[in-house]
Structure 1
Amino acid sequence: MFLVRGAIDGKAVRAVWCRDTLVCNSTLRHRAELLVAMGEEFELEPGGPVLAASLDVPTAAMLTLIRACDDVHAVQLMPWRRAG
């Protein structure tokens, strides 16, 4: 689970990933979808593996949403809970 809070064009935006579901403002989702469509990539370390922007996988979604914000105010990682 994670939470991203930030701003786009001066307006507050927020995204939460919980139980394999992304919930976020339409403004943030639209900007993030543009990054995915443009083929944005994240280099995890110099010369290392590259992760494609996505809204389908938690790690990629978090990085994509952070990059989509003009200003990032908070990123909060919450422990994963195992079922059962």
Structure 2
Amino acid sequence: MLKVKLKIKGKRFSIPVPYAVLHLGSYILTSKRITTLLNKAIEKDGSKFIFPEIERKELKPLLQGLSMYRGLILVQTKLKDGTEVEVRL
């Protein structure tokens, strides 16, 4: 489970993200329909960036590997205004 911890102005928030939600997100990102909608929105904005088509079989080993490294801190940052963000597997 991916755990996102936020500390903003003395308040703490913890958001657990199950692996099932990550798998669902990978299905959505690899959808050809979503890719074309993203590219149309980016083109309408005037940017020259193109969102690449990603195949599901390329993301599958990454998602399976995440469960092997439980407790690994992916992101840990603290801003000058006291805001803290931590993303942990």
Task: Indicate the structure with greater helix content.
Answer: 2
- Which of the pair has more CA radius of gyration? 2
TM-based fold match above 0.5: no
Task: Please state which band the TM-score falls in when normalised by the shorter chain.
Answer: under 0.3
Question: What's the TM-score once normalised by structure 2's chain length?
Answer: 0.27
